[in-house]
Structure 1
Amino acid sequence: MRFSLSTLLLAVVPKVFGDKHYFFSGFFTGNMIVAIDERKRNVYVATTGQIQSYAIKSNRSLTSTSNITLSSSCQNANYIATTNASPYTVFGVAYSTGCAAQALAVDSTGALTAATANLTYNSTSGVHGLDISPDAAFVYSADDMGNAVWAHSYDRETKTAQTLQYLAAPEGANPRHLAVHPNGAWVYAIYEEANSLAVYKRDNKTGLLTDEKTTYSLLPAGFTNTSSYWADEVKFSLPTSNSTNTTTSSLTNFITSAQPKYLITGTRSRSTNATGYVSAFALDASTGAITSQLFLLPTTASGGSANAVSPALFREEYLAITDSGANFVEVWKIEREGVGASAVARLGFESGPANVVWMD
């Protein structure tokens, strides 16, 4: 089933610039989560029973190019991660018990062609988030149902995957999403049930992780009703020197270019009667390690079912936040030196936006 206009091309106008910046949004109506490739030529959509690819035209419209059909027992396509260098493999996973993630090959245009390998987990696993190492040789998975983090290797030449590591998370953690630092030294994971951010050290040669046993709360100090919240998303800000060179296929250039200044997280409320939270962490410019938690602020309107954060391409201090409960996307700006943040633009919808990916 194609989504036609259920994923829309949208324009946001930050007041500081007065110019337009574009993103695509997925929606919970129709269960559509979106991703975009490194070259900004294709949008990939995870929807019920399929992972789909769409070519981005010069006028920013979308044209259907292909789809990968999922097995009957793994229909809830939920997350997509894309590599940063040729051959631009796409990884997708369905959020259901015992479902494998799949490596999906693309042709020269970026259209999906076939599933080439499975990344397998335990029969009790339910993976909700994926991310890829900077050299595209390793894939990391947040196992929400199985309360664990996994590491797999992936050989782009032979198109084969192997399980490298299973790391049980602390009781009551439930990893939901994670992010690999562009320098490869760290993996930061969201613990959904614990409402915290966890730190994993990564070996750039072996791809193996070490749990640093360090966590940061994503709720204000003294909260007693933590069960009313569930942490959601973690993303790195995008330095302008990286984001402006979106057509490069050089992995070396990607790894050695400017490193992100911020790590940004979103926490949802389980009720639309309460706000969610957004937080930002300062990162060491040379090591990528967290140096401090800069702020933890309530989002506007409802907590919603998303509260997903998406750092902007055009300036590192800007990000989008979706509010699926109140049906809007806001653009936020991090204040100078990271002392706080606030909303600077809003775009409303008729149905709940799930996540956004920036076009420019």
Structure 2
Amino acid sequence: AKMPVHHLMVGTWTPPGAIFTFAFDDEALTLKLVKRTEIPKDEPISWMTFSHDRKAIYGAAMKKWSSFAVESPTSITHQVSHPMEHDPNASLATTNTRAIFLLAANKPPYAVYCNPFYDHAGHGAVFTTDSTTKALKENVQNYPYQPNTGIHGMVFDPKEEYLYSADLRANKLWTHRRVSKDDPSLELVGSVDCPDARDHPRWVAMHPTGNYLYALMEKGNRICEYLIDPATRLPVYTHKHYPLIPPGIPDRWTQYRADVCVLSSSGKYLFASSR
């Protein structure tokens, strides 16, 4: 069956919170707003992702981690919002700490891995999910990075045994290991500093083979290629890097900020952006 219409769910950086559903027709090449779903006003979702079965949306929502049941592209219902509990200062209205990113596992037990950002962001949070409703259930672990950490993106290896985190603020890449196939908790493997003190990694993408990791450097405005060491599972810089802005920019360190990167499903193409 042909599926010419694809639905995109979009959040917002600032209040009031809402989820916008757009319909993209890949034959007519039209993009239409088909629904604006109201959500808690002070919980705008700056990053959202689907559960493995697309029955739920998980949101990084200011001072909260939220989840929504998805019955259809235009029927989205708020389930629950959990506070950030990794640091007593993080959830205070007076601090700039905010939920910035989350990654939903595609393999059992389908946990969700969450990152805060800005200040008081030295831990990641692991949430279990309800097996029926897919809602965020329990904050089972707050695993440490370091006090000045600010993670903005993470990616699993294909087996979802190792988790790689881009630490923009501390300028390093972290590797954690799942404790077991039944336990979503993480333990630290190690971390590696970025090649240049001005790199500031914001995003990571993993090649489908699991052999290569691509780190997008926000301030460096480049993609750096890493080989995954088969023994340690730590990323090793190959000294190959690819620019994300044209040559001749007067000040490449301040005029542009690289954003995100993603591999095509075939693994043959890597898309990346800078702004």
- TM-score, normalised with respect to structure 1: 0.62
Alignment of 1:136-285 (within 5 A): 136-155=160-179, 156-169=181-194, 170-203=196-229, 206-226=232-252, 227-238=254-265, 259-268=266-275
Measured after TM superposition, the shift of residue 203 of structure 1 is: 3.6
Which structure dedicates a bigger proportion of its chain to helix?
1
Q: 2:146 is matched with which residue?
A: 122
Alignment of 1:19-168 (within 5 A): 30=44, 32-58=46-72, 60-71=74-85, 72-74=88-90, 75-97=97-119, 98-108=121-131, 109-155=133-179, 156-168=181-193
Root mean square deviation of aligned Cα? 2.9
Q: Is the 8 A contact 1:84 1:134 kept in 2?
A: no
Distance (whole Å) between structure 2 residues aligned to residue 211 and residue 23 of structure 1:
44
Task: Tell me: CA distance 1:223–1:85, structure 2 relative to 1, closer, same or farther (3 Å).
Answer: same
Task: Tell me: CA distance 1:59–1:220, structure 2 relative to 1, closer, same or farther (3 Å).
Answer: closer
Measured after TM superposition, the shift of residue 15 of structure 1 is: 4.3
Letter in 1 for 2:203: H
Q: Is the 8 A contact 2:218 2:257 kept in 1?
A: yes
Q: Deviations over 1:4-62 (max 9, x none)?
A: 96111111223467799999999x99353211122111111101111111110135411
Sequence identity, in percent?
24
Distance (whole Å) between structure 2 residues aligned to residue 101 and residue 107 of structure 1:
20
Is the partner of 2:257 in helix, strand or coil? strand
Letter in 2 for 1:144: L
Is the partner of 2:210 in helix, strand or coil? coil
Tell me, which stretches of 5 or more residues in structure 2 are unaligned?
A: 1-14, 91-96
Q: Deviations over 1:263-288 (max 9, x none)?
A: 110101xxxxxxxxxxxxxxxxxxxx
Distance (whole Å) between structure 2 residues aligned to residue 151 and residue 144 of structure 1:
14
Task: Tell me: CA distance 1:147–1:45, structure 2 relative to 1, closer, same or farther (3 Å).
Answer: same
Distance (whole Å) between structure 2 residues aligned to residue 104 and residue 180 of structure 1:
23
- TM-score, normalised with respect to structure 2: 0.80
Q: Deviations over 1:115-141 (max 9, x none)?
A: 122331111211111111111111111
Task: Tell me: CA distance 1:264–1:23, structure 2 relative to 1, closer, same or farther (3 Å).
Answer: farther
Tell me, which stretches of 5 or more residues in structure 1 are unaligned?
A: 239-258, 269-360
Q: Is the 8 A contact 1:9 1:61 kept in 2?
A: no
Higher relative contact order (CA 8 A, sep 6+): 1
Q: Deviations over 1:294-334 (max 9, x none)?
A: xxxxxxxxxxxxxxxxxxxxxxxxxxxxxxxxxxxxxxxxx
